Amino acid sequence: MDADRLLTAFIGAFFGAAGWLVVGLFIQRNQFARVARNSARAVYFELAVNAIAVGLARQHGVFQPLARGTFDRLLPELAALLSMDDLQKVAQAHMGHAGYDQLQRDPGIPATVRRTILARAEEQHRDATDVLVRRAFSQAERARLVPPGPEIPVEATTAPEVRT
């Protein structure tokens, strides 16, 4: 085998291996980004359900348990996708669960304190869902999303008066 053929084979092998490596890294990076985005979507829906529960507690005094399992399980993926400030907003919504649980268990907490804590929890959930909508959904998907926790007028929640 002469030197020209050997050099050509080495150059071809080098560029083939380099191309395979670049394509593999590109595919792996895209897959990682897709997993992180899907994780953020799952946490968004968990927070949306929690926002509805917090809104019900604030408006009507009806407490439902708040979920956090998805957030706990997918936190590493969220940390890779979100900036520190955005991750902090999402984490703060989950940190407020302790105060919510305390309100649920202790009816002796004054009404003004209850309203303040629930309003803050609702604000934290809104901030967190805004972050996740911005980072996890495309523009077309954002247009189709229904915001969590629609306001329910008090009139719609009261039973009609029965006359006899």
- 98-139 pLDDT per residue, tens: 999 999 999 899 989 999 999 999 999 999 999 999 999 999
pLDDT at 22 over 70: yes
pLDDT digits (tens, 9 = 90+) for 72-98: 999 999 999 999 999 999 999 999 999
Q: What single string gives the DSSP state of each residue in the chain?
A: --HHHHHHHHHHHHHHHHHHHHHHHHHHHHHHHHHHHHHHHHHHHHHHHHHHHHHHHHHH----PPP-HHHHHHHHHHHHHS-HHHHHHHHHHHHTHHHHHHHHH-TTS-HHHHHHHHHHHHHHHHHHHHHHHHHHS-HHHHHHPPPSS----HHHHSPPPP--
Show me where the domains of the chain are located.
Answer: 35-149
